[in-house]
Amino acid sequence: MMVTGNGKVFGLIGDPIGHSLSTFMHNTVFDELNLDYVYVPFNVGKKDLCNAINGAKGLNIKGLNVTTPHKVEIMEFIDEIDPIAKMIGAVNTIKFVNGKSIAYNTDGIGAIRYLEEITSLKNKKVIILGVGGASRAVGFQLSILGINELLFVNRTVEKAKFLINDFENKLNNPSLLNSKYLFSGFNKDIIFNYGGFDILKEQIKDCDILINATSVGLYPNVNNSPIDENILHSDLIVYDLIYNPIETKLLEEAKKVGAKTVPGVKMLVYQGAESLKIWTGIDAPVDLMEKVVMSKL
């Protein structure tokens, strides 16, 4: 990689960022496309978020990704937030244009993009395990894409209830219903529900898509699964947002019953591709990005 004074700088801010694979993924794409761009990881603490954004403007950095734990707090220091990201309540991509910062959330659309390639989302019932930032992004994206029912399952039921209430309030907002940001396939009669893990056995019977957005099964606890394998069935698509290990215990068990499985690498790659498009207008080579990530894992 040759970095020149004419190049463009992109990067990642988070704390910590040493585990991130985004640097390899994006820089490989820049090399492949012969672009004079570079992607740099920056370890930024919470108290320095404002300085980081102002510094990026001063250094003429063109774009940043935002990772844990800053996806919510960073919004305070952004000049303009994409309406969908504002409704999700978190951002992971920032573009700098004429000294102004504009923030987006590509986590949701990145996760859903691959799902749309393998199935229609229309009229589907989806269960999401967990209610963290990834759950919020993926769940909101699904809610505006035509699914019929969305159920959040969480150990702390009150947190799932809060998230569902937030979704219902936002999706019933007249300004959203009449805006250009609402997808044409939006189902205004979507059913929202929530509960603890005790309801899973019954609710999963007619479920089409199961998404794990918890950390259960994440390396090094690779022998753990968030649910009992006996309730899985062959009509499911099981999507685990964890990408290390590549095949989690949940995905391994889902394969045994004949369910279709989607590894978390897909979300990592596709959200990265969406970020690149926002920054550069380029349709990124997702096959190459996935190959790089898989080689590092």
Residues annotated as catalytic are: 71
Identify the helix (H) or strand (E) that includes residue 100. Answer: strand 100-104
Cis peptide before 83 (omega within 30 of 0): no
Cα-based distances in Å from 183 to 48, 211, 272: 36, 21, 22
Rg of the chain (C-alpha set): 19
Buried b / exposed e over 98-124, threshold 16 CB at 10 Å, is eeebbbbbbbbbbbbbbbeeeeebeeb
Rounded distance between C-alpha atoms, residue 59 and residue 61, angstroms: 6
The SS3 call for residue 204 is: helix
Contact predicate 32/287, CB 8 Å: no
Contact predicate 165/208, CB 8 Å: no
Q: Whose CA is closest to 136, among 169, 103, 105, 99?
A: 105
The neighbouring-strand residues paired with 66 are: 13
Rounded distance between C-alpha atoms, residue 88 and residue 105, angstroms: 8
3-state secondary structure 32-96: HCCCCEEEEEEECCHHHHHHHHHHHHHCCCCEEEECCCCCCHHHHHCCEECHHHHHHCCCCEEEE
